[in-house]
Amino acid sequence: MDLRFAVRRRLAHVLRGVSVALVCSALSLSAAHAQTAVSAALTPAETTHVVAALKASGTQIYVCKRDANQQLAWVFKAPSADLYDASGQLVVKHSAGPTWQATDGSKITGKVLQQAPNPDQSDSIPLLLLQATNAGGPGLLATVRYVQRLDTRGGLAPGSPCTQEGEEGRSPYLAEYLFLE
Protein backbone atom coordinates (compact mmCIF):
# COMPACT_ATOMS: atom_id res chain seq x y z
CA MET A 1 0.00 0.00 0.00
CA ASP A 2 1.31 3.45 -0.88
CA LEU A 3 2.47 5.22 2.30
CA ARG A 4 0.86 8.53 1.31
CA PHE A 5 -2.47 6.78 0.72
CA ALA A 6 -2.22 5.05 4.11
CA VAL A 7 -1.43 8.35 5.86
CA ARG A 8 -4.33 10.12 4.11
CA ARG A 9 -6.68 7.27 4.98
CA ARG A 10 -5.64 7.36 8.64
CA LEU A 11 -5.99 11.16 8.73
CA ALA A 12 -9.49 10.91 7.23
CA HIS A 13 -10.38 8.32 9.87
CA VAL A 14 -9.10 10.59 12.66
CA LEU A 15 -10.96 13.62 11.25
CA ARG A 16 -14.15 11.60 10.97
CA GLY A 17 -13.72 10.65 14.63
CA VAL A 18 -13.22 14.28 15.62
CA SER A 19 -16.31 15.35 13.63
CA VAL A 20 -18.42 12.64 15.22
CA ALA A 21 -17.07 13.56 18.65
CA LEU A 22 -18.14 17.18 18.13
CA VAL A 23 -21.61 16.10 17.00
CA CYS A 24 -21.86 13.74 19.96
CA SER A 25 -20.84 16.51 22.34
CA ALA A 26 -23.55 18.75 20.97
CA LEU A 27 -26.13 15.97 21.23
CA SER A 28 -24.97 15.08 24.72
CA LEU A 29 -25.31 18.66 25.90
CA SER A 30 -28.87 18.85 24.60
CA ALA A 31 -29.77 15.65 26.45
CA ALA A 32 -27.71 16.37 29.57
CA HIS A 33 -30.69 17.48 31.60
CA ALA A 34 -32.53 14.23 30.83
CA GLN A 35 -29.73 11.73 31.38
CA THR A 36 -26.51 12.61 33.07
CA ALA A 37 -24.68 9.30 32.75
CA VAL A 38 -24.98 5.99 30.97
CA SER A 39 -25.06 3.03 33.30
CA ALA A 40 -21.82 1.03 33.31
CA ALA A 41 -23.87 -2.05 32.39
CA LEU A 42 -24.84 -0.33 29.13
CA THR A 43 -21.29 0.69 28.22
CA PRO A 44 -19.07 -1.90 26.53
CA ALA A 45 -15.49 -1.84 27.85
CA GLU A 46 -13.62 -2.28 24.59
CA THR A 47 -15.17 0.37 22.33
CA THR A 48 -12.86 2.94 20.84
CA HIS A 49 -15.15 5.75 19.72
CA VAL A 50 -18.61 6.82 18.62
CA VAL A 51 -19.23 6.29 14.91
CA ALA A 52 -22.55 8.15 14.95
CA ALA A 53 -24.96 9.69 17.46
CA LEU A 54 -28.45 9.85 15.99
CA LYS A 55 -31.91 10.87 17.19
CA ALA A 56 -34.74 8.43 16.48
CA SER A 57 -38.39 9.12 15.87
CA GLY A 58 -40.71 6.21 15.22
CA THR A 59 -43.01 3.58 16.64
CA GLN A 60 -42.73 0.37 18.59
CA ILE A 61 -45.06 -2.19 17.01
CA TYR A 62 -46.93 -4.66 19.19
CA VAL A 63 -49.16 -7.59 18.24
CA CYS A 64 -52.00 -9.11 20.24
CA LYS A 65 -51.25 -12.74 21.20
CA ARG A 66 -52.40 -15.26 23.76
CA ASP A 67 -50.12 -15.68 26.76
CA ALA A 68 -49.47 -18.89 28.76
CA ASN A 69 -52.87 -18.45 30.47
CA GLN A 70 -54.62 -18.02 27.10
CA GLN A 71 -55.27 -14.34 27.87
CA LEU A 72 -54.84 -11.77 25.11
CA ALA A 73 -51.86 -9.47 25.67
CA TRP A 74 -49.65 -7.07 23.73
CA VAL A 75 -46.32 -8.62 22.66
CA PHE A 76 -43.47 -6.60 21.14
CA LYS A 77 -43.09 -7.27 17.40
CA ALA A 78 -40.66 -4.74 15.89
CA PRO A 79 -39.41 -1.16 15.85
CA SER A 80 -39.97 1.20 12.95
CA ALA A 81 -37.98 4.42 13.17
CA ASP A 82 -36.02 6.99 11.24
CA LEU A 83 -32.70 8.15 12.71
CA TYR A 84 -31.46 11.68 12.08
CA ASP A 85 -28.13 13.44 12.53
CA ALA A 86 -27.70 16.76 14.34
CA SER A 87 -28.59 18.70 11.17
CA GLY A 88 -31.89 16.84 10.75
CA GLN A 89 -30.68 14.70 7.84
CA LEU A 90 -32.14 11.17 7.64
CA VAL A 91 -29.17 8.82 8.07
CA VAL A 92 -30.49 5.41 9.14
CA LYS A 93 -33.73 3.37 9.01
CA HIS A 94 -34.42 1.07 11.98
CA SER A 95 -36.64 -2.00 11.65
CA ALA A 96 -37.28 -5.59 12.72
CA GLY A 97 -34.35 -7.82 13.52
CA PRO A 98 -33.43 -5.39 14.98
CA THR A 99 -31.66 -3.92 11.98
CA TRP A 100 -30.31 -0.52 11.09
CA GLN A 101 -29.69 0.40 7.45
CA ALA A 102 -27.86 3.59 6.56
CA THR A 103 -28.71 5.62 3.50
CA ASP A 104 -25.25 4.67 2.13
CA GLY A 105 -26.33 0.99 2.06
CA SER A 106 -24.38 -0.25 5.08
CA LYS A 107 -26.44 -2.40 7.42
CA ILE A 108 -26.11 -4.03 10.83
CA THR A 109 -28.23 -6.31 12.98
CA GLY A 110 -28.28 -6.28 16.76
CA LYS A 111 -28.57 -8.66 19.69
CA VAL A 112 -29.60 -7.30 23.10
CA LEU A 113 -26.81 -7.69 25.67
CA GLN A 114 -28.18 -5.54 28.50
CA GLN A 115 -31.20 -3.42 29.28
CA ALA A 116 -32.06 -0.97 32.02
CA PRO A 117 -35.11 1.12 32.84
CA ASN A 118 -34.90 4.76 31.87
CA PRO A 119 -34.43 6.44 35.27
CA ASP A 120 -35.79 9.73 33.93
CA GLN A 121 -38.82 8.34 32.07
CA SER A 122 -40.37 5.35 33.85
CA ASP A 123 -43.17 5.25 31.27
CA SER A 124 -40.71 4.58 28.42
CA ILE A 125 -39.13 1.57 26.79
CA PRO A 126 -35.85 0.48 28.41
CA LEU A 127 -32.37 1.68 27.57
CA LEU A 128 -30.36 -0.96 25.70
CA LEU A 129 -26.88 -2.15 24.85
CA LEU A 130 -26.82 -4.30 21.73
CA GLN A 131 -24.01 -6.17 20.04
CA ALA A 132 -23.90 -5.40 16.33
CA THR A 133 -23.07 -7.64 13.43
CA ASN A 134 -22.27 -6.27 9.98
CA ALA A 135 -25.07 -7.43 7.72
CA GLY A 136 -23.72 -5.92 4.54
CA GLY A 137 -22.19 -3.08 2.69
CA PRO A 138 -19.33 -0.68 3.28
CA GLY A 139 -20.19 2.70 4.76
CA LEU A 140 -21.17 4.39 8.00
CA LEU A 141 -22.26 1.25 9.87
CA ALA A 142 -19.61 -1.14 8.54
CA THR A 143 -17.34 -0.92 11.60
CA VAL A 144 -20.04 -0.66 14.29
CA ARG A 145 -19.69 -3.25 17.05
CA TYR A 146 -22.22 -1.98 19.59
CA VAL A 147 -25.39 0.11 19.66
CA GLN A 148 -26.72 1.97 22.68
CA ARG A 149 -30.36 3.06 22.85
CA LEU A 150 -30.51 5.98 25.27
CA ASP A 151 -32.82 8.79 26.38
CA THR A 152 -35.98 6.87 25.47
CA ARG A 153 -39.37 8.57 25.49
CA GLY A 154 -42.58 6.52 25.10
CA GLY A 155 -42.84 3.29 23.14
CA LEU A 156 -44.46 1.05 25.76
CA ALA A 157 -47.24 -1.34 24.73
CA PRO A 158 -50.58 0.36 24.14
CA GLY A 159 -52.41 1.21 27.36
CA SER A 160 -55.72 -0.21 26.17
CA PRO A 161 -56.11 -4.00 26.23
CA CYS A 162 -56.03 -5.83 22.95
CA THR A 163 -59.25 -7.56 21.95
CA GLN A 164 -58.44 -9.64 18.88
CA GLU A 165 -55.56 -12.03 18.29
CA GLY A 166 -53.28 -10.70 15.55
CA GLU A 167 -54.34 -7.09 16.09
CA GLU A 168 -51.45 -4.61 15.88
CA GLY A 169 -50.85 -1.64 18.12
CA ARG A 170 -48.26 1.09 17.62
CA SER A 171 -46.72 3.32 20.25
CA PRO A 172 -44.71 6.39 19.25
CA TYR A 173 -41.23 6.73 20.72
CA LEU A 174 -38.13 8.92 20.64
CA ALA A 175 -34.60 7.84 21.52
CA GLU A 176 -30.95 8.55 20.96
CA TYR A 177 -28.85 5.82 19.34
CA LEU A 178 -25.09 5.71 19.70
CA PHE A 179 -23.24 3.51 17.21
CA LEU A 180 -19.89 2.44 18.68
CA GLU A 181 -16.79 1.00 17.06
Number of structural domains (the chain) is 1
Domain region containing 86 = 3-180
Q: For residues 18 and 9, what is the distance between their CA atoms, to the nearest angstrom?
A: 14
Please give the radius of gyration of the chain, using alpha carbons only, rounded to the nearest integer: 18
- Which pTM does this prediction carry? 0.78
pLDDT tens digits, one per residue of 122-158: 999 999 999 999 888 899 999 999 999 999 999 999 9
Amino acid, res. 172: P
pLDDT reported for residue 24: 41
pLDDT tens digits, one per residue of 81-113: 999 999 999 999 999 999 999 999 999 999 999
